[in-house]
Copies of this chain bind each other. A is one copy, B any other.
Amino acid sequence: MQESSPQTFSRVLSSMCTEPHPAAREAAEQFLATNPGDPATYETVADLERRVIDGLGELARLTTPAGYVTSGGTEANLQAIRLARNRAETRTPNVVVPASAHFSFTKAADVLGVDLRVAPLDEYRVDLDAVAELLDEDTVAVVGVAGTTEYGRVDPIPALGDLLADDGTDALLHVDAAWGGFALPFTDRDWDFRDAPVDTMTIDPHKLGRAVVPAGGLLAREESLLANLAVETPYLESTSQVALTGTRSGAGVASAAAALEALWPDGYREQYATTQATAEWLADRLMTRGYDTVPPELPIVAADLNGAVAPLRERGWRLARTEHGEAQVVVGPHVTRERLQALLADLEAVA
């Protein structure tokens, strides 16, 4: 393997993932050969998974959380929709998602045979009237995003909860906080299990939680919700399984436990403060230089760089693009001001 080295993160501005915390890396290396998918055989890692779910419950203010460590946000979103579908009676289920929802919902809809109804946005957040119009007796879940992938916006989660209560439907409220969940506890935004009647949530340790991939998170308000996912398991020492995958990564679980132990709450609070300040600093510099920039409410900056993404890529910068064509800088903990100074200098050079 000598000839292949991983790229460094120094010019990666497009990734929701970041450099893992040293304690997370160490734990991952120690648990590389364990399988939380077989808890009766691998008891230690099963205990660690319990700790991770309890920790995620603390972040999202759920006292006795049910859930498990997934392969990532896609699995968590898919499983939330699957459990909503499985508990409903309808044979023609639909799910209402905001136009800002991650493409994993499109994938989940194809996999699960569920109709996806997309509600338009109003100032980057879901339009509540549109959601109300799309809802019907076949709706099994309504999704709110807490930290959208493109602009880091938080949908009006409590209002979505009110809407479901008023409508009297049995649809579940799912919150996708895959990326935002490790920043939002330090803001005044309403997004968690105490702010609203949230049923399920995606919240990923392997993004801002600083765990190694794969360590996503699915939380559920009640254990009984997860029962809709259970499949019997012969061969294994345990008798049923709710995860989408079979064998799972002990490294991901152990690293998530280690990261939470090292960083919750002070380390994550500091990380949020630093990255948010850096995002605002970058947005300010871009606006000063005349680029149309969306003010960052969480540490993501989107700006129209007038076609500079391709020449910047030639200089090694990895920038994602929004659907409207803006360049996007996800300000993870590895994205420092020094690195962004270099980006701004290169931007000036290629403009």
A17 cross-chain contacts in B, Cβ below 8 A: 33, 35, 247
**Separation of A248 and B45 alpha carbons in the complex (Å):** 21
> Range of interface residues on chain A?
35 or more
Q: Does A86 contact B (CB under 8 A)?
A: yes
* B257 engages A1 (CB within 8 Å): yes
* A35 engages B6 (CB within 8 Å): no
The 8 Å CB contact of A249, one of B29, B75, B249, is B249
**Separation of A48 and B321 alpha carbons in the complex (Å):** 26
A12 cross-chain contacts in B, Cβ below 8 A: 41
* A1 engages B14 (CB within 8 Å): no
Distance between A74 CB and nearest chain B CB, rounded to angstroms: 4
Give a binary string over A100-113; 1 marks a CB under 8 Å from any B CB, 0 the rest. 00111011001111
* A32 engages B213 (CB within 8 Å): yes
Distance between A251 CB and nearest chain B CB, rounded to angstroms: 7
Q: Does A23 contact B (CB under 8 A)?
A: yes
**Separation of A216 and B102 alpha carbons in the complex (Å):** 25
Q: Does A274 contact B (CB under 8 A)?
A: no
Q: Given that A38-B14, A71-B214 are contacting pairs, would A107 and B244 also be in contact in the complex, using a CB cutoff of 8 Å? A: yes
Q: Which of A123-131, A135-143, A226-234, A281-289 contacts B (4 or more CB under 8 A)?
A: A226-234
Ordered nearest first, which 8 A-B pairs have the shortest CB separation? A74-B246, A72-B247, A113-B113, A107-B231, A41-B318, A32-B212, A71-B71, A1-B27
